[in-house]
Amino acid sequence: MTDIKSMTLAEISDALREMGEPAFRGKQVFTWLHRGATSFDEMSNLSKPLRAKLSERFFITAPKVARKQVSQLDGTIKYLWELADGNCIETVLMSYHHGNTVCISSQVGCRMGCKFCASTIAGRVRDLCASEMIDQVLFTQLDSGLDVSNIVLMGIGEPMDNLDTVLRFLELVNDPDGLNIGMRHISLSTCGVVPGIDRLAELGLQLTLSVSLHAPDSETRSRIMPVNNAYDAEELFDACHRYFQKTGRRISFEYAMIDGVNDSDEQADLLARKIRGMPGHVNLIPLNDVVESELKPSRRIAAFQKRLESHGVTATVRRSLGGDIDASCGQLRRKAMEGREEA
């Protein structure tokens, strides 16, 4: 059995042609899938024998809502989805004045080991399929009744650790016959996997690259992000400069402010030096307190921001949404895994 929603329109059309069907059938099936059909029987413009043949060869993914939390503070919705194999992933829907943004996961768990992140504590279980990424956008839209205009690949997992599939997802979600979300409305966040950044640069996609930097020097970065031992801060900054030169697109640097670790004026000065010549943007994130971590939120965010700005660096402080629903960084999935919360 083949996962049909992970197939592109061209691949579905080819498969149908091989089954003796006319070319336009592919588009019909693709459209049904990306509107949320969960069985071939729903595809009323296909003949019954064709629907039967399709269900013998292909299956259609559809996650179940294992849990849904709506923030009383700002309307942020957090979904915990149960996948066909029983694994759970998180998706968050955030409403901004410019539209609704959905934050999706790319893996079940993560193996990057960042010290401040709840998603990585139990490691990686498996990669997601392209269909499971599409489903997060599709079923969030259908369940909430809200249209999604922007996607950020900033949920659980490291997109560069599942890059072939992430690229396939981008092609699918971009398709005018599918969800039709333009690259300019998509951000991809990486903890700093240099070969992935170079591969993305080659492709020259119009998406926004976010780099989870969190420290400008390798000594600090290695303490909190094991990926720095594979690709250190120098290599990462070089890759970012190459990316900018190739694509002309500004990079967004994520920087979670951690008390006494990465929040000194000297680190702000070094950060400003490192990104000189590259019109980047620094996004300062108030650290989300993760129960399992000893790292604590910094109280120097405003001072750090000022210091960066004194060097001409654009820095914003991320508004925290969904503070009452554990809407960040793998916290809901962890609670569900440990049964720490009564239903």
Tell me the catalytic residues. Answer: 90, 329
Structure tokens that stand for 273 in this block: 């030096």
Site string for ligand SAH, 26-45 (x = CB under 6 A): --------------------
CB of 295 to ligand SAH, least distance (A): 8
Q: Tokens 């094991």: give the residue.
A: 226
Helices assigned H by DSSP within 182-314? 194-203, 218-224, 227-230, 233-247, 265-274, 301-310
Q: Which is nearer to ligand SAH, 28 or 288 (CB)?
A: 288
Burial degree of 318 (CB within 10 A; 0-12, 13-18, 19+): middle
Q: Which of 154, 173, 282, 325 binds ligand SAH (CB under 6 A)?
A: 154
Q: How far is CA 166 from the centre of its chain?
A: 9
Among 89, 93, 108, 285, binds ligand SAH (CB under 6 A): 285
Per CB under 6 A, the segment of 14-22, 48-56, 284-292, 298-306 that binds ligand SAH is 284-292
Compare residues 29 and 209 and give the one whose CB is closer to ligand SAH.
209
Closest Cα partner for 88 from 116, 114, 109? 109
Q: Verify binding: residue 254, ligand SAH, rule CB under 6 A.
A: yes
**Looking at 82-90, 177-185, 287-295, 335-343, which segment touches ligand SAH (CB under 6 A)?**
287-295
Residues 157-186 that bind ligand SAH (CB under 6 A): 158
**Stretch of 62-70, 136-144, 283-291, 308-316 contacting ligand SAH, by CB under 6 A:** 283-291
* Residue in 176, 171, 253, 270 with CA at minimum distance from that of residue 213: 253
223: CB partners within 8 A, 6+ apart: 115, 215, 261
* Residue 262 engages ligand SAH in binding (rule: CB under 6 A): no
Stretch binding ligand SAH (CB under 6 A), from 13-21, 61-69, 128-136, 282-290: 282-290
Name the residue with tokens 């039967």.
Answer: 52
The residue from 9, 128, 133, 191 that contacts ligand SAH (CB under 6 A) is 191
Q: Do residues 187 and 207 make contact, with C-beta atoms less than 8 angstroms apart?
A: yes
| 290 makes contact with ligand SAH (CB under 6 A) | yes
Q: Which residues contribute to the site for ligand SAH (CB under 6 A)?
A: 112, 114, 116-117, 154, 158, 189-191, 212, 254, 256, 285, 287-288, 290, 329
